[in-house]
Amino acid sequence: MKIELPGLLRERMPNGKFRYRVRVEGNPKRRIRIPISPNHRDFMEYYHAGRAGIVATIDARPEERAIPKSIAWLTYKHQAYLEGRVENGLSSPHTLKKRRFLLRQLRDECGEYPMLMPTAAIVQYRDKLSDRPAWADSMVEAIRGMFRWAVETGLIDHNPALDIGRIDPGGDGAEPWTKVQLQAFRSFYPEGTQQHLVLTLLLFTAARISDVILLGADNEVMRNDVAHLRWQPIKKGSAEVDIPMTAALLRATRPVSIAGQPYLLTNRGKPYSTPDSLGGLFRRWCRDAGLSGLSAHGVRKSVGEILAEEHCSQYEIMAVHGHREARTSEIYTKRVQRQILATNAASKLDRLEW
């Protein structure tokens, strides 16, 4: 692989292979060997380190091969902090996975620059990602969180991303399932199938898929001779959920209610490793059933709308969804409420003689 970069040297060895060295910027007589080839994922980090006069060995820790006080260096420091939070049970592994991806993208884009990005540069980077506005806002959120931690630890004295606004206009997100679609899925995947069990858990617990893959017999408790499911959602800030198990939920889970293991297991008899692994599989099941475009989170949303249609209070819906604030549950109920208001308004218009 041939690559041209300032100061980069590609040298043929006696055995016919190539090695790469880089001239130190400002001191061209000094040359530092890069221990990996250009097709390696981390080649550019070693290149920038060499240009800065840093000798990074193949076994160097990530922050050791990054230019000190650079954006790349800061992302690695922050990532180590996030990993520690997950190890201590303070953050979700799912959140860490997404944040790692965002931080890597940030390193690829501007890792060699000084760590204190100007606000204008962050805005420019956000706007560069504007073809995916939700992702652009997630990137700014990741940068803001990294700088917030850097301020707390004394690495910098202010957060340049603090007041940067969102560009995603928002929306309703996942499409809620209709009752007809729920019945169609149920008809395509009859009782006793893994697909039926997954939908039953999603529908009658209103749990996020990140929680559904963990629910099992160990979450079952008896209260006044009634079986309940009780769990603490993984998502940060969620309230504990404690709901009675409906007849349909009991019927679906009895064959798989085994102490010490979740209800849902893969074809290999193992728990699902990540929410994404089941989420992707569930979307494929939906496509196979002629329900393309639907997702597991849409089931959770449909529960909120069904409860709203049944005139449940905002606080009843909050209890089922594990929300602490009413405004969060409004995401799931506002469309139903608007439909009711529109129907009432239309009935009044219908009285007009025309």
Query: What is the residue-wise DSSP string for 113-148?
Result: SBSS--HHHHHHHHHHTTTSHHHHHHHHHHHHHHHH
In the predicted model, what is the mean pLDDT of the chain? 85
Same domain, 326 and 255: yes
Least confident among 27-36, 65-74, 141-150, 305-314: 305-314
Are 86 and 40 members of one domain? no
State whether 195 and 340 are in the same domain.
Answer: yes
In whole angstroms, give the CA distance from residue 33 to residue 262.
Answer: 51
Are residues 84 and 230 both part of a single domain? no
C-alpha closest to that of 336 among 300, 310, 315, 318: 310
> Does residue 126 share a domain with residue 230?
no
53 in the same domain as 84: no
The beta strands (E) that lie in the chain are given as 8-12, 18-24, 27-34, 220-223, 226-231, 241-244
Which pLDDT score is estimated for 42?
82
Residue 140 resides in a domain? yes
Whether residues 195 and 280 fall in one domain: yes
pLDDT of residue 236: 76
Query: What own/partner pairs with CB < 8 Å and gap ≥ 24 does 321-329 have?
Result: 321/206, 321/241, 322/233, 322/235, 322/238, 322/239, 322/240, 322/241, 323/238, 323/239, 324/237, 324/238, 324/239, 329/304
How far apart are the C-alpha atoms of 320 and 105, rounded to whole Å? 37
State whether 217 and 102 are in the same domain: no
- pLDDT, residue 186, reads 93
170 in any annotated domain: no
Note whether 231 and 320 are same-domain residues. Answer: yes
On the question of pLDDT at 288 being above 90, the answer is yes
Strand, coil or helix: 261: coil
CA distance 335 to 240: 26
What's the pLDDT score for residue 193?
94
Q: Is the pLDDT of residue 273 over 90?
A: no
216 and 242 in a single domain? The answer is yes
Residue 313 sits in which domain range?
179-345
Q: Are residues 192 and 301 in the same domain?
A: yes
321 vs 205, residue with greater confidence: 205
Task: Spell out the residues 6+ positions from residue 308 whose beta carbon is closer than 8 angstroms to its own.
Answer: 317, 332, 333, 336, 337
Query: Is the pTM higher than 0.75?
Result: no
User: Cα–Cα distances in Å, from 106 out to 47, 103, 307?
Assistant: 17, 5, 42
C-alpha torsion 95→101→102→104, nearest 10: 140
